[in-house]
Amino acid sequence: MCGIVGYVGPRSVKDVVLNGLRKLEYRGYDSAGIAVLDDGKVKIVKAVGRLVNLEGKLESHPVAGRVGIGHTRWATHGRPSDDNAHPHSDCSGRFAIVHNGIIENYLALREELVAKGHQFVSETDTEVVAHLIEDVFNGSILDTMVTIGKRIRGAYALVVISKDDPDTIIVMRKASPVIVGLGNGENFVASGIPALLEYTRDVIVLDDGEMAVVRADSVECFNLEGQPIGEKETLHVTWDAQSAERGGYPHFMLKEIYEQPKAIHDTLLGRVSDDHQQVILPELKWPAGYAASIDRIHIVACGTAWHAGLVGKSVIERLARIPVEAEIGSEYRYANPIYTPGTLVVAVSQSGETADTLAAMRLAKENGLRVLAITNVVGSSVAREADEVIITQAGPEIAVASTKAYTTQLVTLYLLGVYLAQARGLLLDGDAREILEALSNLPQVAEQVLDAASQIQQFAIRYKDVEDTFFIGRGLDYAVAMEGALKLKEISYIHAEAYAAGELKHGTLALITEGVPVIALVTQTHLYDKTISNIREVAARGAYVLGLAWVGDADIHKTVDEVIYLPRTLPLLAPIASVIPLQLLAYYAASSRGNDVDKPRNLAKSVTVE
Ligand code: F6R
């Protein structure tokens, strides 16, 4: 949440910072701002609203210099406004600071600072840090930040520039991600990799409780006591700069939907043996016999990643016969979960920075459990804190609504399910081959599903003004229905509810009236007849039913008003095929309503606050 960019070097600071913020705007878009050390002075320009407003304002308020920081905000403390936008400064205007996270004791600090005569201009928690720096500054910004670290509580990535250290950016991290990008005679700071891709792919990830002093020709890292911690590992990111561009698509979301065949292919690459007999997961450095000793699995995740976890639960239980709970991160950590020594925790997170997922996995680690992470971001907190990591190969996901991350999480969970089943001697060779061949064929399946785009677009345009929709299905179809409903809600703002098809008659059927669109998923062959009966129940009450069924299903049109035919794969793998039309439905509904698809209201990518 919130995008942070910093730059020190010979290029135009304004250009590098704005460019980086453009790539990070998906992390927050309530307001934006920039601070530059310009002619010995800290010059700050900020504007409420989208980044474009800041860009406009900079035309009449130009800034230039060698050092600068910028921020794009997702409001937590204080409504979106020019005053509440970052960077924040102190009374003397010597320091500028941007922040991602929450300073939990800001009210007490603010009272203390006001009593000392400090004047605040914003309602934010961040501004207290700027005044606190002014209050304790002793000539050394590093020493000052050590003191700040002892006074503030909460989560933060703080990035500071100071008039007294004109070629320096100070970065400090506790629980909010921040990376340093390494250049030649220039260095960068950012809260996310996409901001840097145009300039460098070599990064240092600061760990919790670390600081960095970044200059054009050096990066020095310290602990929060100010002691040097020596050289940190440099990670090389494989994403290319184009992957963070829209590439001719009107929105990142549409581009990312269309990237799914490739993302699925890349995630499978090297993970299935050529004869389709074995799953290859060298990332799982488990001791011999460990896979067979797992007696339960807790999948922890949030939002769309949790929906992937629900599919994973079904798949692993079916193939490997291990009981699996799929838990929402924010619930799990307070639910006093029951562990056995053989419990494996699987944390699923696109960003690898979701605070609730991280907290859930930390709880598991505190209880001595092994944690496997499935994440899309190398070097993310989830990746670094887990015992083992499988990286999904979706490439950067910029749109707030997750699409290709979800399908690659599913692919990874399928691979894990087969791997566990084989390790436990539960899958006959023929069955493993059938599943692995079908998995390897999924990029083509995804490609073919995309052919239905114009039919879905027409449906979406026809129904774009409805207030309520329902998504129904049984078994795996129900898990996908939940994802379809979430997608529609978050970007089109149409109310959508997912229901287990057999459960409607216990209450929700009362909401079905003439013309209400119901999207019915009918891919689970063993539940076919039951689902058809449930569809008849809504159709009889006047619903307009759009069915998603396998190509070749000759009967489905007798029950539904309209059908989207899915290219055939195994029913177990249906979620990959059936979710894509639902992503497209949400996309076209939102775009035809004129919504800002990539940046839906009130939301932000990567939820780093609890
Ligand atoms: C919805 C969406 C969110 C995320 C959730 C978890 O489209 O993107 O529900 O799935 O915030 O994010 P990650 O996967 O980064 O942990």
- The full 3-state SS of 582-602, as one line of letters, equals HHHHHHHHHHHCCCCCCCCCC
| Cα 300 to averaged position of ligand 1 atoms, centre (Å) | 12
Residue 169 CB–ligand 1 contact under 6 Å:
no
CA–CA dist 515, 93 (Å, integer): 60
Question: Cβ distance 597 to 492 under 8 Å?
Answer: no
Instruction: Inform me whether the pLDDT recorded for 75 exceeds 90.
Output: no
Q: Residue whose CA is closest, atom 7 of ligand 1?
A: 401
Q: What integer pLDDT is reported at residue 74 of this predicted model?
A: 82
% of the chain at pLDDT higher than 90: 89
Calculate ∠ Cα 60-61-62, nearest 5°: 105
2 catalytic? Reply is: yes
Which tokens is 212 given?
A: 């960095």
Q: Cα separation of 559 and 541, whole Å? A: 13
Mean pLDDT of 43-64: 94
Give the integer Cα–Cα distance in Å for 315 and 416: 9
Q: Give the pLDDT band of residue 27 (cuts 50, 70, 90).
A: confident
E strand or H helix at 430, and its extent? helix 429-440
Ligand 1 centre to CA of 4 (Å) is 20
Banded model confidence at residue 549, pLDDT cuts 50, 70, 90: very high
**Closest CA relative to residue 160, chosen from 427, 469, 537, 146:** 146
Ligand 1 near 408 CB (within 6 A): no
Determine the average pLDDT of the residues in 310-328: 98
Q: How confident is the model at residue 243 (pLDDT cuts 50, 70, 90)?
A: confident
35-39, 246-250, 529-533: least confidently modelled range: 246-250
Amino acid 603: pLDDT: 82
402 — pLDDT class (breaks 50, 70, 90)? very high
Q: Ligand 1: which of 1, 300, 327, 351 to mutate, judged by most atoms within 8 Å of the beta carbon?
A: 351
Give the integer Cα–Cα distance in Å for 210 and 206: 6
Instruction: Report the pLDDT value the prediction gives residue 607, as an integer from 0 to 100.
Output: 74
DSSP 35: E
Among 252, 300, 302, 328, residue to substitute to test ligand 1 (most atoms within 8 Å of Cβ) = 302
User: How many angstroms separate the first and last alpha carbons of the chain?
Assistant: 11
Q: Determine the residue of 607, 608, 609, 610 to mutate for testing ligand 1's pocket, defined as the one with the most ligand atoms within 8 A of the Cβ atom.
A: 607
Looking at residue 45, what is its pLDDT?
Answer: 97
User: What's the chain's Rg over C-alpha atoms?
Assistant: 25
The count of other CB atoms within 10 Å of the CB of residue 368 is 9
State the Cα–Cα distance between residues 534 and 1, nearest whole angstrom: 41
Tell me the average pLDDT across 375-394.
94
Tokens representing residue 467 in the block: 């207030």
**Alpha-helix residue ranges (DSSP H) falling in 72-211:** 106-115, 127-136, 141-151
What's the CA-to-centroid distance between 96 and ligand 1, angstroms? 31
* Residue showing tokens 């993302």: 263
45 C-alpha to center of ligand 1: Å?
Answer: 31
DSSP one-letter string for 348-362: EESSS--HHHHHHHH
> CA-to-CA distance for 237 and 163, rounded, in angstroms?
33
Question: Cβ(607) to ligand 1 under 6 A?
Answer: yes
CB neighbour list of residue 188: distance below 8 Å, 6 or more residues apart: 5, 6, 7, 16, 20, 180, 181, 182, 195, 196, 199, 200
CA distance 344 to 279: 19
Average pLDDT over residues 52-63: 95
In this prediction the pTM is 0.86
pLDDT higher than 90, residue 189: yes
Q: Is the CB of 608 under 6 A from ligand 1?
A: no
DSSP assignment letter at 608: -
Residue with token string 């059938």: 434
pLDDT per position as a tens digit, 88-132? 999 999 999 999 988 999 999 999 999 999 999 999 999 999 999
Please name each of the domains of the chain with its CATH number: 3-245 (3.60.20.10), 254-440 (3.40.50.10490), 448-592 (3.40.50.10490)
More confident residue, 239 or 459: 459
pLDDT band at 2, cuts 50/70/90? confident
The strand ranges marked E within 183-252 are: 187-190, 202-205, 210-215, 218-223, 235-236
C-alpha distance from residue 133 to each of 8, 55, 128, 151, 402 (Å) = 21, 29, 9, 10, 38
- Over 90: is that where the pLDDT of 393 sits? yes
59 φ, ψ (degrees, to nearest 5) = -65, -40
CA pair distance 492, 485, nearest whole angstrom? 10
Q: Is the pLDDT of residue 472 over 80?
A: yes
Q: Identify the pLDDT of residue 455.
A: 94
Provide mean pLDDT across the span 279-307. 96
State the distance from the centre of ligand 1 to the C-alpha of 589, rounded, in angstroms.
20
pLDDT tens for 407-424 read 999 999 999 999 999 999
Does residue 354 line the site of ligand 1, with CB under 6 A?
Answer: yes
Q: Is 351 in the pocket of ligand 1 (CB under 6 A)?
A: yes
CA–centroid distance, 521 to ligand 1, in Å, is 23
Pairing of strands 165-174, 154-162: antiparallel
Q: Which atom in ligand 1 lies closest to the alpha carbon of residue 409?
A: 14
Confidence band for 238, pLDDT divided at 50, 70 and 90: confident
Q: Which residues pair with 67 in a beta bridge?
A: 8
pLDDT tens track for 156-183: 999 999 999 999 999 999 988 899 999 9
The mean pLDDT value of the chain amounts to 94
**Res 244 pLDDT > 90:** no
Supply the residue whose CA is at minimum distance from atom 9 of ligand 1: 303
> What's the Cα-to-Cα distance from 601 to each of 3, 75, 234, 404, 495, rounded to whole Å?
16, 12, 36, 21, 14
pLDDT of residue 241: 78
Confidence grade of residue 234 (pLDDT, cut at 50, 70, 90): very high
Evaluate: CB of 303 within 6 angstroms of ligand 1: yes
pLDDT given at position 175: 84
Task: Report the pLDDT averaged over residues 298-327.
Answer: 98
Ligand 1 in reach of 343 Cβ (< 6 A):
no
Distance in Å, CA 325 to ligand 1 centroid:
19
Say what the pLDDT of residue 387 is. 97
d(CA 181, CA 168): 14
Tokens standing for residue 214: 């970044």
Question: Does the active-site annotation cover 404?
Answer: no
Residue 606 CB–ligand 1 contact under 6 Å: yes
Q: What is the mean pLDDT of residues 514-521?
A: 97
- Does the structure show a pLDDT above 90 at 261? yes
Structural tokens at position 48: 């409420």
Helix H or strand E segment including 16: helix 13-24
